[in-house]
Copies of this chain bind each other. A is one copy, B any other.
Amino acid sequence: MIPTITAFERSPDHGRGLARDMRVRWALEEVCQPYEVRLVSFSAMKEPAHRALHPFGQIPTYEEGDLALFESGAIVLHIAERHAGLLPDDANARARAITWMFAAVNTVEPPILELVTAKFLEGDRPWSKERLPLIADRIRDRLKQLSARLGDTDWLDGAFSAGDLMMVGVLLRLKASGMLDEYPNLSAYVSRGEARPAFKRAFADQLAVFTGEPQTG
């Protein structure tokens, strides 16, 4: 059974791989699982048919037979639990990899989301210029802590896992800001993620949606 995921018909990031379908595409590529993509317009995302799949009217969703899921973290975990390659066999190491998935979305991503909100929803407000550095400093607090933990290792806990996939996916949102460059080991960590063949295939496929080129996946 080939799963179907949803992605933006016109991604607001212009194919830079920052939309959350990228995380799911990458996970599916890591485990060599073919998939189909249904593109959704912004207006269709607010319609009842899509809301039935995703109560918050977002992408990605994941459909596989009778199963319908949303939330990139949950979908990546679902994929990782059913296919080898994204979670260690050892039970304790597996629990730690899942811990990093939650750390990515619940500890590292919230201040980054705040920066996105500040720029796109409050960018024209009078406080914007004075407030952005405050948010950046809160992001730096997290990056500093993450950098200290990563140290000079390749991945957060042993071999590459779904925890690294989610963390790199979250950190990619900071790439254009230049903030990652302040933490060379984090910058190298993200680059290692981007260098993975599965990442490259997923990236090319999400970019092809934007450019109109045929997809490889």
Contacts and interface: CB of A to CB of B under 8 A. Distances in A.
Interface stretch (A10-18, A70-78, A186-194, A202-210): A70-78
A99 B127 contact: no
A117 B138 contact: yes
Interface in A65-110: 66-75, 77-78, 92, 95-96, 98-99, 101-103, 105-107, 109-110
Interface residues of A, number: 47
A136 interface: no
Interface stretch (A30-38, A140-148, A177-185): A140-148
A162 to B, nearest CB: 12
A119 interface: no
Q: Lowest 5 CB-CB distances: which A-B pairs, in order?
A: A127-B127, A55-B149, A74-B99, A71-B102, A73-B102
